[in-house]
Amino acid sequence: MKNTFVTFLAMVALAVTGSVHAAGNKDAGKAKSAACAACHGTDGNSSIAANPKLAGQSEGYLLKQLQEFKSKKRDNATMYGMVVGLSDQDMADLAAFYASGKVKAGTADETLVQKGEQIYRSGVASQGLSACIGCHGPTGAGNAAAKFPALQGQHADYTVSQLKAFSAGARANDAGNMMQNIAGKMNPADMKAVATYIEGLQ
């Protein structure tokens, strides 16, 4: 009985320890972000459509992505090269800095907005495609507690690239294969429409 109780306490301690992360300091993160600016902008609003905007993204989600680039759970050679030398504190500080910013809204393609809004808000029943709004919210603000990312204002080109990566299984760091299953039910026209709608969300 005693050994069982000790084992239980050890498991609880391990669970608690595993969920604790270094607290991020946004000012320290700003100082450390110089190397990130070329791709993601000085304030986290990338001017390059292929590179994601990071400003206003939830701190927990950003930290998770940095950790998974470093562990190669999310496989990207460029990002691995950028994060491999970062400490846990460095990553926490960068996440805090970008989370403290505000994303700049983009502009949606008006010819695709109606279809994109339908997919985002209602899904496509005939394809078994779930609505995006359930996880990412009516304004695309995401769900920080669940580490579901904010999408509002994100470059359409980047969003399409990630949907394609999820669909092909090239990106597989989503909980329960959720995004892989969803993206796998989307055709290229669906991806383009919902991505441009997302870019215009505020």
Domain region containing 29: 22-99
For residue 38, the domain's CATH number is 1.10.760.10
Structure confidence at residue 18 as a pLDDT band (50, 70, 90): very low
136 and 175: one domain? Answer: yes
Residue 87 included in any domain? yes
Structure confidence at residue 22 as a pLDDT band (50, 70, 90): confident
61 and 120: one domain? Answer: no
189 and 151: one domain? Answer: yes
Strand-pairing partners, residue 129, are 124
How many structural domains comprise the chain? 2
pTM above 0.85, yes or no: yes
194 and 120: one domain? Answer: yes
Q: Above pLDDT 70, what percent of the chain?
A: 90
127 and 80: one domain? Answer: no
134 and 68: one domain? Answer: no
196 and 119: one domain? Answer: yes
CB distance 182 to 129 below 8 Å: yes
pLDDT, tens digit (0-9, with 9 covering 90-100), for 65-83: 999 999 999 999 999 999 9
Residue 105 included in any domain? no
Q: Which residues contact 183 (CB under 8 A, 6 or more apart)?
A: 163, 164, 166, 167, 191
Residues in the chain: 202
Q: Above pLDDT 90, what percent of the chain?
A: 89
Distance CA 12, CA 140 (A): 35
Distance CA 113, CA 83 (A): 36
Tell me the mean pLDDT in the region 37-53: 98
